Amino acid sequence: MLSAAAAGLLGPLLYRVDPDVTSLLDRLRPPLFFGGTIEHPLGTDQLGRDIASRLLRGARISLLVSLSATTISAILGVALGLISGYRRGRIDDVIMRVGDAQLSMPFLVLAISVVAVLGPGLTNLILILGVAGWIQFARIVRAETLTVSHREFVEASRAVGARDGRILFRHVLPNVTASIVVMATFQFAQMIVVESSLSFLGLGVRPPTASWGTMISDGRNYIQVAWWLTTVPGAVIMFVVLGANLFGDWLRDRLDPHLRNLD
């Protein structure tokens, strides 16, 4: 994932092909080794733009949106999930029922009305995606907190008079990290794709700016004449998700008290 981020930042400096230059004569060229040429190593899109340079340029926006939105979801969801699972009772009811209400609503309606009220823009896009994902984290964290907060070590520290905040952060949170990490990698992958589905609300990027999600969705109707339009960015997302998972595994191994001792 770091290499993807580095590619997004440095790539455009090293690989100097303009991602927005169209060339109708060169459209739908396949990648190298599939009948293409070195000139466009990953082929060209429906407007003859170089896919490799669009991937590099799109990396910035896709990673920015997806990472920030996932972080917002995770922070919101983990905090509310911890409170819900630890305190239970009324506050749990309120938090979880708000989540239920949100799960019942089509995401599109929320997005459209947010645009109507707040207006379009990248910040609003990140906010919408971030707020939309919290409940997934919250439910997972709550479930694990429910069980963890009855384990011996939690009961023990409560018995010696530890404050709730300390118990949550020192004892409960480390025990739910593994699930948070798995959920985060899922959300991360989803956000990249979902970003593109909101561009028509003026929320995503505007054409001709490249993002991985829009590259995939624009290639949708070309899937049979030019498979690389969707497959190449799809594969890149998968590589990044793979990287994110490995990073997540590492993070979990560092944070999880049980797994740390295992290796």
Give the bridge partners for 44, in sequence order: 50
* Cβ distance to other proteins smaller for residue 13 or 234: 234
Helix 51-87 / helix 134-148 crossing angle, nearest 10 deg: 40
What is the C-alpha separation between 108 and 123, in angstroms, rounded? 17
Q: Which is nearer to other proteins, 13 or 254 (CB)?
A: 254
Q: From the CB of 126, what's the least distance to other proteins, in Å?
A: 19
- Whether residue 208 is preceded by a cis peptide bond, meaning omega within 30 degrees of 0, is yes
68 vs 230, beta carbon nearer other proteins? 230
Q: How far is the CB of 81 from other proteins (least distance, A)?
A: 10
Residues contacting residue 124 through CB under 8 Å, at least 6 positions apart? 114, 115, 118, 203
Closer Cβ to other proteins, 14 or 224, answer by number: 224
DSSP of 58-94: HHHHHHHHHHHHHHHHHHHHHHHHHHHHHH-HHHHHH
Minimum CB distance to other proteins, residue 5 (Å): 17
CB of 61 to other proteins, least distance (A): 16
